[in-house]
Structure formats: structure tokens, C-alpha cells
Amino acid sequence: MHFTSAEITAWIGAFLWPFFRIAAMLMSAAVFGVRALPMRLRLMLALAIALVLAPLAGPMPAVDLMSAQGIAITGQQLLIGIAMGFVLRMVFAALELAGEMIGSLMGLGFASLIDPQNGVQVPAVGQLYILLATLMFLALNGHLLWIEAVAESFRIIPVGTSGIAPEGAWALAGFAGQMFGWGVRLALPVVAALLVVNLAFGVLARTSPQLNVFSVGFPAALLIGLALILMTLPSVLFKVGPLTTDGLDQVGRILTGGR
């Protein structure tokens, strides 16, 4: 049995091009691309998913992988995967922003921990929100929904020279701004209450100058902030499901060109 170089190239491309899209999504997404996971483990996960989804990805273009057109196709698959992963990362960025705003008003802005997802320092309250949101995301099978979205992307945008339309890129930029708005709204109840507390201590400092407001205000703001977080945490975690659904809907708009 003899195989031509064109047949071998077609077989390799039928696996590698879906693998590039899947690997780009896993590396750039919030939960799948955490730096706490070794790179080898993430690559093995991408290979396993590609082995399952490659036969379902449809016919591949008869193009040489090392040609200019083949490199362009590879770049398109990477861009599609990165866009899908960026959407999930923005969902968790909204929760991180909410925790950072709350922690700053509580006086915990100086208390930072290493974020295992991004490898940078974030406030302790933001880290708490991210960890709890990750557990909620996995409990709701959000990781399976995102893998299903990757499989559906091969039907919407088959492997070829066509990629994300400019309208889809604008939809991605608009979604990033929308997530910042969600972060402000999630933190708004606690921020408003802590603002009233800070205003009260400001009035107290003016009426009683001999009182050391810093020694009294900081512990009070910290305790009140922790109590408010405890009260509002269930409602914040319940938003993980709607935010994930919005993210999946946004992935559809990005792939379909904003339609």
C-alpha cells in the first residue's frame, strides 16, 4: 500500500487544524488555561479533545500545511480559538473587578495573593471571588458547555481561509466593555454600603477631632465589609450561570459576524 505526499498532508491537516483551534481556546480561557496546570497537561487535554472532535470537524481544505495558504489557515484557527477563550476570561475578569473594588474600599487593597489563573497578584477579595466562581462554573458543567461550543464552531466556521468577520471582532470588543459594567454592578451593593460607612467616619472625624478615626475606622470597615460580602456572596455566585450563558451567546455572535 502506497500513500502519496498529498494524502499524508491531508491526514495531518485534518488533525492539526482542529487541534490548533482547540489548543488556542484552552490556553487563553480562564478555567482551562490556569497557570497552575502544567503546560504538558494542557497540551494532553487539547490532544484528547482534538482526537474526539477532529472527525466531526467536516472536510478539510486540500492545502499544504507549509504553504502560504496553509499558514494563513493555521493563523485563522488560532485567532478563532483565542477569541473564544478571551470571552470566558472576560467573564471571570468581571468577578475579579468586583472583588478588587470591594477589597480596596475595605482597606484590603494591600493584601494581594498570586492568582493561579493569570500568574499575577490580585487583591485577596478578588481571589476569593475567582476561586468560588471557578467552583460554581465547574459545578454547572460550564467546561462541558465550552467544549461543546468549540465543536459547534467547526459547523459555523469550517476550517478554511475564512475566519472571524470584522463585525465579530467588534462584538468581542463590545462584550469586553459589557463585562466591566457587570463587574461594577456586582460590586455596587457592597461599594455603596462601604461608602456610607466611610462618610460616617468622615463626619465623626470632623465632629470629634480628638478621636483617632484610623484606629477605629479601619477595623470597623473591615468587619462591615466582611459581613456585606457574606450577605451578597450567594447572589454574586448565582450570576456565574447567567454570565456564562451570555458568554456562550457572545461566542455565537462573534462566529456568525454579530448576527
Q: Please check the confidence at residue 117 and state whether its pLDDT lies above 80.
A: no
- Percent over 70 (pLDDT), the chain: 82
User: What confidence category does residue 3 fall into, taking pLDDT thresholds of 50, 70 and 90?
Assistant: low
Q: Please check the confidence at residue 27 and state whether its pLDDT lies above 80.
A: yes
26 versus 108: which is more confidently predicted?
26
pLDDT value of position 120: 56
Q: Please check the confidence at residue 109 and state whether its pLDDT lies above 70.
A: no
Phi, psi of 195 (to 5 degrees): -65, -40
pLDDT value of position 161: 62
Q: Please check the confidence at residue 78 and state whether its pLDDT lies above 70.
A: yes
Q: Is 253:149 a contact under the CB 8 Å cutoff? A: no
**What does pLDDT average to over the chain?**
78
pLDDT value of position 9: 62
- Rounded to whole angstroms, the Cα distance separating 155 from 23 reads 18
pLDDT value of position 177: 81
pLDDT value of position 250: 83
User: What confidence category does residue 189 fall into, taking pLDDT thresholds of 50, 70 and 90?
Assistant: confident
Q: Is 53:22 a contact under the CB 8 Å cutoff? A: yes
Q: What is the DSSP string of the chain?
A: ----HHHHHHHHHHHHHHHHHHHHHHHHSTTTT-TTS-HHHHHHHHHHHHHHHGGGS-PPP---TTSHHHHHHHHHHHHHHHHHHHHHHHHHHHHHHHHHHHHHHHT-TT-EEE-TTTSSEEEHHHHHHHHHHHHHHHHTTHHHHHHHHHHHHHHHS-SSS----HHHHHHHHHHHHHHHHHHHHHHHHHHHHHHHHHHHHHHHHHH-TTS-HHHHHHHHHHHHHHHHHHHHHHHHHHTHHHHHHHHHHHHHHHHTT--
Provide mean pLDDT across the span 216-231.
79
Q: Which residues contact 187 (CB under 8 A, 6 or more apart)?
A: 97, 98, 99, 101, 102
Q: What predicted TM-score, i.e. pTM, was given to this entire model?
A: 0.79
Q: Please check the confidence at residue 173 and state whether its pLDDT lies above 70.
A: yes
